[in-house]
Each structure stands twice: as C-alpha cells, then as structure tokens.
A and B are shown apart, each in its own frame.
Chain A
Amino acid sequence: MGQTQDAWNESGEPEKAQPMGWKELYLKEDWWAIWFGIGLMAVAVVLFNNGSHALSALAINPGGLKWSSPDQLADHFAKNASLYFLQFIFWLVLFGVSCRIMGIKLKEFIPSFIFLYVLSMAIFSVSGWINAAKFNLEAPLVALVVGLIIANVVSLPKWMDSAFRVEYFVKLGIVLLGATFPITLVLTAGPVAIVQATFISLVTCTVIYFSATRLFGLDRRLAAVIGVGGSVCGVSASMAIAAAVGAKKDDLYTSVTLVVGWALVMILVLPFVSQALGLSSGVAGAWIGTSEFADAAGFAAASAYGKMAGHEDAAIKAFTLMKVIGRDLWIGIWSIVWALIATVVWEKKETGSKPEAKEIWRRFPKFVIGFFVASLLMTLVTSGYTTDEFNQTVKPALIMPLVSLRTWAFLFCFLSIGLTTRFRELKAVGWKTFSAFTIGVAVNVVLGYYLSAHVFADHWSAM
C-alpha cells in the first residue's frame, strides 16, 4: 500500500486524516502475533485431544540434544531432515505471508529468512552441545554475539533487514509464552509487578528529564523522548510520545542510539552480575525486567540467566510480569500525559498533536491481549487434569511443543537484534545527552535491584 494510493480516494478526492481503524488488524505486527499465537495454541489443543503428535514433530529443535560428538549431531539432522524442511516451510509461510500483507517485499524477505533460519539452526546446535553450559554458550548470548559480528564485520546488505523482524518475533514469542503462564499467576503476581515497575518508571523518567533539562540544559522534547525511552519501553516508547511532544527526527535517532547501546551492555552484563550475586532466577528476572528498556533485549538477558541458573521458566515469567504487564501496558497513558504536558505546560506551537483519550487504545501494545487470552484459555483447557496427569500427559504432548515453537521465535528475535545492529549507523550522541540518560540508567538499575532483591525478594524468589 503506497503513500500516493492511500492519500486519495477513488473519486480523486483527498482521504480524511483518520486513524488506521480496523486496518490495524492486518497491518500491525501485534495483531499478526495474536492471530498466529492463539491459532497455534488452538491447533495444539485440537491435536492433543485427538491424540496426534504432529505439532511435536513440527516443533523439533536441536537445542536439547546434549550431543558430545559431531557424528551425533549429523545423525540427528540426517534422521530428521524432512521434519526440519517442513518446519522451515511452516515458518516461511507464516512470517512471509503476514510480512507481505504488512508491505514487506517477498523477494527480500525470502532469501533473508532462509539465512536467518539456517543460522538459528546452527546456534541451536551449538547450545545443544553437552559442554555448552560450561562455556556459557547459552543460545540467546551466542545468537546476539554472532549476529553482532556478522552485522559489523561481514556487512550484510540493508535489504536483508526485511526478515530480521525483532519485534514481530518477540511478540509472537510472548503470546506463545502466555500458553504456559497460568492466569492465576498473572492475577496474583501482576499487581506487585505493576507497583514496582510503575514506581521505578516514574522515578527514572523524572531523573532523566530533569537531568537533561535542568542539569545539562537540553531541549525538553529531547529530554521527554529519552526519558520515556529509558524508563518505559525503549525506542517504542520514544516513538509513541514523539508525536505527542512534536519531537524532531534527531531526538528519536538519539534515543535509538542510547537505548540500543545500553540494552546491549545490559544483555551481556546483567546475567553475569546476577550470577555473581547469586540471585534466584525469579529475582534476576524481575531485576532485568526493571532494568532493560526493550522487550527483545530483556528476554535475551532473562533467558540467558535462566539457562545459566537452571530455571529459565522462573526468570522469563518474572521478567514478563515486570516488563510486559508492569511497564508495556501503560504506554498509551504515558503518551497522553506527555501530550498534556506539551499542550498545557509548554507552548502550543511546539507540539505536534493534542491529547486524546483514544490514543490510549491506539497505542496499546495489542500483543499483550494475545498473552492474556492464551494464558486464560490454556488455564481453562488444563484445569481438569491432576498434577500427575499434567506432568505425564499434558506437558509433553501439549505444552512442550508450544515451548519449543516459542524458543524458535525468541531465537529468531535474539539473532535479529545482532544482525540489525550496525554500530556505524548509530548516531553520535553528545556527552550531555549521554550523561543525562546514563544517570537515569544508574538509578533504574540500583532501584530495580533494591526492590527486586530486598523489598519484594520473597515474592520474586517464590516464582
């Protein structure tokens, strides 16, 4: 759908300036993540009820092999070549069709996705080595590092970004995560996450904003854009309020550099610091959830630490509660608040748009709905089974295939973070902007640690 065609109606008259409306259902990746996540879950339930293991076969993954010789690995691929081919076609069709409808060119997407899939399989294979854990060769970290090296040494063509859809992959992973997340846990642990995350977000945003404006004399629109970037949900939050405050291109570009830089540092540092501090997986997941700005980067860090500590599930669940439910949900409200500040407190001429309550829904991260629906439905589906029945029958035949598909989606995401990070493309940021943001990061990390490991330690440890 091109800009020109979208601007005029069939009579040659200008189209009105109206929101996307129902078109969002097929033009936004959030909705595609919901359709596919819930759809896969429904298929899994139907197959499970019919005693079929088709989804288990499709969800094949070399990550759990524990191979000790290359021959074992080669044997695994030789035996399962047809399943891997089917799985590749499955992912290609799933992502290819949806990306095409969203406007991404298939001639770019297909070769790029083939590259992504083959590389993902290689990384899973490395993490499936029996000694991988000894050398911290966790799949998320390996994917990130390999991706970064390729993007900055080999220099892939820019068009290959067509298939490196970081956010789309992580959203699908989160919806599938909902299928393994009891709704009772969301309801009991969610409020604590909201309280903790909201407190830290408010403090961090305020610190960055006032450091930038009062301490370093920076423009308040830039301060607002990097303030929400460092406290709510990274670049997505910055983009959400960019229109509300009438931010300039360089403001958002600056936020990209700061968020990406610190997000990468924290992916690589937080798991090892958590290990050094001996944090439980739940506490570390909550801490990472308050410290990482972006969902994709946070999942990489939480997943890596969970694997290192042997309790990936607890780390991911605590992270999800803190980041997705505690922070992401409220992005529309942040947008309204900043629009109000810009129009009421600042001069009107500086603002790009007036505050509207509808923006809360328009900017709502819709994939979270998929997470809740998946959680609710799977809780209902599995509620009639005893614990023994669940562990012996439901978990291996219904839950684990969905976990494996989720793991694939997350690995595509982690690898894509590395593959899209070209350091030479990031904007040079002045020391004042960097310092204001970094002060906020420091406050965020320390406060997040204190609340996760001390104030709410019992809560997160029990995850």
Chain B
Amino acid sequence: MTAALTCRQCRHFVAEPEQLEVLIPGLNIVSSAYGSVRGDTAYCRFKDIFLLSTIACPGFEPLPGP
C-alpha cells in the first residue's frame, strides 16, 4: 500500500534549516534553525503558517520525484 502524501512531498513546504534562515532574516542572530528547540517545525508557503508535516492539504503541489 502506498503511503499517503504529506507536506514533505509538497513544494510549498520549507523544512531545511538553511532555507528557514533565509526565509526569516535575522533568525540566526541569537537563534538557529539547526537547534533542537526547533524540533521539526517547518513553514508552509501556501498557508503562510509554521507547522509540523502532516497529511497533504488541498493546496498540495508535488515536488519532483526521485
């Protein structure tokens, strides 16, 4: 059975620390996207909210496959 699509396969989903630090200028001044406290927090460009990866929503647009 194929696993359900999630935010991780969506091009709106930003989870890479490097990209998050570019997204929020100044985030790295007295904080870091590479720290444990961030946990798995990511950002959705479609909804403009921070969130954890979950089942794909109606705004889902797939990333290119492997």
Contact = CB atoms under 8 A, between A and B. Distances in A.
Interface of A: 1-10, 12-20, 24, 27-31, 102-104, 161, 164-168, 171, 233-237, 239-240, 242-243, 246-249, 252-253, 256-257, 259-260, 263, 293-297, 331, 335, 352-353, 359, 362-367, 417, 420-422, 425-427
B51 A29 contact: no
B3 A363 contact: no
Interface string B27-47: 111111111111111110000
Given A1-B16, A10-B66, A15-B9, 5 more contacts: A12-B66, A29-B34, A165-B28, A420-B29, A425-B25
Interface residues of B, number: 49
Nearest to B32: A167
A240 B38 CA distance: 5
B16 A234 contact: no
B66 A353 contact: no
B36 A367 contact: yes
A167 B32 CA distance: 6
A8 B37 contact: no
B59 to A, nearest CB: 14
19 contacts: A3-B15, A6-B15, A14-B3, A20-B39, A104-B18, A161-B21, A167-B28, A167-B35, A168-B32, A263-B30, A294-B30, A352-B49, A352-B51, A353-B51, A353-B52, A363-B38, A363-B39, A417-B29, A427-B26
Contact of B24 (A236, A253, A297): A253
A94 B34 CA distance: 16
A427 B29 CA distance: 14
A335 B36 CA distance: 13
A243 B35 contact: no
A256 B27 contact: yes
B17 to A, nearest CB: 7
A179 B49 CA distance: 41
Contact of B8 (A17, A29, A242): A17
A28 B24 contact: no
A292 B21 CA distance: 22
B21 to A, nearest CB: 8
A24 B36 contact: yes
